[in-house]
Structure 1
Amino acid sequence: MRIGILQTGQSPEPLREAAGDYPDMFVALLAPYGFNLVTYNVEQMQFPNDLQECDGWLITGSRHGAYEDHAFIPPLEDFIRKVMAAHIPLVGICFGHQIIAQAMGGKVERYEGGWAVGPQSYDFGGEAITLNAWHRDQVTKLPDGAKVIACNDFCANAALVYGDTAFSVQAHPEFKDDFVDGLMTTRGPGVVPDSLMAEAREKLGQGNDSQAIAARIAAFFQRQG
C-alpha cells in the first residue's frame, strides 16, 4: 500500500541528524508492515494533486496550533474533509489528531490543565497503553461522528475513530525516549514547567507500547486495502 505522509511541522534542527524528521520517525515506526511511504510537506504548501495518489493518508505532529493562522491549515482542512467524504483511510497523530477533529467541526484549545510530557498511560477500552506525549492543546469538543476509544484523567479525547474512515491519537507512538528528552532540552525550557520535565525524565527508559499503536495503525490501513 502507498501511504502519504502529510508533514505539518519539523523536528528541532539540533535533533534531526540523530532522530530524523517527523516522516522519518513514521517510516521507522511502520517499517515492519511493508508500506510504501511518501511525504508531502504540506506545511510548505506541498499538497497532493489528487486524493487517489495514495491508498491512505497520515498527518504528523507539529509545533503549530490547529487554531492558529497559518497558510497551510485551511487547505489541509479542506483536504481532510474531501478524504473523509471519499472514505479514504486517514490517520492523525497529535496535531494530526487535532486538525482532523477541527476540520470535521470539533474544537481544539490550549488546555488550562497544562502539559502532557513524556510517558503517559491511556485506557484503550480497558487496555492500559503507555505512549510518549508532548502537547498542551487538546480536542475539547468532539465533531459529529467521532467516537472516543482512549482517554486518561488528563486527556478525555486521547484517541478517536470516525467510523472506518479515520483513526487519530493525541500521543506520539513515533517518539522515542531520547527524542522526548531532546525536546525537553530544545523546546521545553521556559515553556514546560521544570518540575513536569523532571518527572517525565524519571519515567523515560521504562519502555512503552508504541508498537501496539503501530500495529493498530497498520491494521487500520490494511483493512481498507
Structure 2
Amino acid sequence: MKPIAVIRHSPTEGPGHFATFLDRHSLPWSLIRIDEGEPVPSTTDGFSGLCLMGGPMSVNDALAWIPPLLDLIRRMMAADKPVIGHCLGGQLMSRALGGTVTANPRKEIGWGAVRVIDSPLARAWLGDTRQFDSFHWHGETFSIPEGATRILESAACANQAFVLGKHLGMQCHVEMTRTMVEAWCESGAEEIRDASPAETVQSPAAMQIDIERRLASLSAHAELLYTRWIEGLGAT
C-alpha cells in the first residue's frame, strides 16, 4: 500500500495516537513537515490517503502553503482517497469544500464532553457511543460543508466533526498523547492565562488530572473513528 501523507503544521502537533494506530495496523505513513518548510505534495499519486494535523495558525491567515494544501485536499477527495483532519485539519477540509472558518463563541482549551449526534451515519462511525470526553484547543470553528453531515457537537461548539463519504473532519483533538498534552500546556501557558477565567478553559494542572485514564478513554474512541476511516483506503 502507498503511504498515508500526514501533514504537520507545528512541531508540537504531530500525529500522536494516529501514528500509533497506523503502526499497529501495519499501515505506512509519511510525515510532511510544513513547519520546517517542506513543500505541500504536488500530486496525489504517491499516497493512499491524507491526514491533516492541528496548528496554532488560522486557515484565514495569508500563508503561502494554505492554497496548495486546500488544492491537495480537493484533489485527494476527487481521486477517492480518504482525508482526515484534526482541529486545524478539519478547518482546512471545511474551507477546501467551500465552508467558512470563523471565531467560535468561546475558546475551548482542555478536556470537555462531545456528544454524538443521533443519526445512522454517526453510529456507523462511533457505534453505540453517545458521549465521550475529548481534548480541545481552539478559538475558531468551521461550518459544515455542503453535502457533509455533522456527527459530533459540544456545549461550546456546535460543529465538532463532520463526515462526507469516506472523509472525516474534526474540531476536537482525538489524537492526543501525554507528551502532547504536557508540551501544549507549556507552550500555551500564555494563551491559557489570557483566556482565563472561563468555564471552557482549564489550567495546565487541571488538564493533567487523571490523565492516563482520560487518554485511554480518548484513544479508544479515536480508534473507533480511525478504524472506520482506514476502511476507505485503497489496496495500492
Q: What interval of TM-score do these two structures reach, taking the shorter chain for normalisation?
A: 0.7 to 0.9
Q: In the aligned structure 2, how far is the partner of 1:7 from the partner of 1:157?
A: 23
The Cα shift of 1:105 comes to 0.8
- Within 5 Å, which residues of 2 pair with 1:57-206? 57-113=50-106, 115-126=107-118, 127-139=130-142, 141-164=143-166, 166-189=167-190, 190-193=193-196, 196-198=201-203, 199-202=206-209, 204-206=211-213
Which of 229, 232, 235 pairs up with 1:223?
Answer: 232
1:157 partner letter: N
The Cα shift of 1:212 comes to 2.0
1:214 partner letter: E
The Cα shift of 1:205 comes to 4.6
Q: In the aligned structure 2, how far is the partner of 1:89 from the partner of 1:200?
A: 32
2:225 partner letter: R
Q: Which runs of 5+ in 2 are unaligned?
A: 119-129
The match for 1:210 is: 219
The Cα shift of 1:125 comes to 3.4
The Cα shift of 1:31 comes to 2.9
Contact kept in structure 2, 1:119 and 1:204, CA below 8 Å: no
Q: In the aligned structure 1, how far is the partner of 2:183 from the partner of 2:15?
A: 17
Say what the alpha-carbon RMSD is for the aligned residues. 2.2
Sort the Cα spacing of 1:81 and 1:70 in 2 relative to 1 into closer, same or farther, 3 A.
same
- The number of aligned residues is 213
Deviation track 1:115-171 (CA, whole Å, cap 9, x = no partner) reads 2122221112352122111111111x322112101111111110111123x111111
Sort the Cα spacing of 1:34 and 1:45 in 2 relative to 1 into closer, same or farther, 3 A.
same
The Cα shift of 1:62 comes to 0.8
Contact kept in structure 2, 1:131 and 1:173, CA below 8 Å: yes
The Cα shift of 1:33 comes to 1.8
Q: In the aligned structure 1, how far is the partner of 2:81 from the partner of 2:180?
A: 31
Contact kept in structure 1, 2:97 and 2:146, CA below 8 Å: yes
SS of 2:231's partner is helix
- What's the TM-score, normalizing by structure 1? 0.84
SS of 1:64's partner is coil
The Cα shift of 1:67 comes to 0.8
Contact kept in structure 2, 1:119 and 1:203, CA below 8 Å: no
Which stretch of structure 1 is more off in the superposition, 196-205 or 38-47? Answer: 196-205
- What's the TM-score, normalizing by structure 2? 0.80
The match for 2:47 is: 54
Contact kept in structure 2, 1:60 and 1:95, CA below 8 Å: yes
1:42 partner letter: I
Q: In the aligned structure 1, how far is the partner of 2:75 from the partner of 2:98?
A: 14
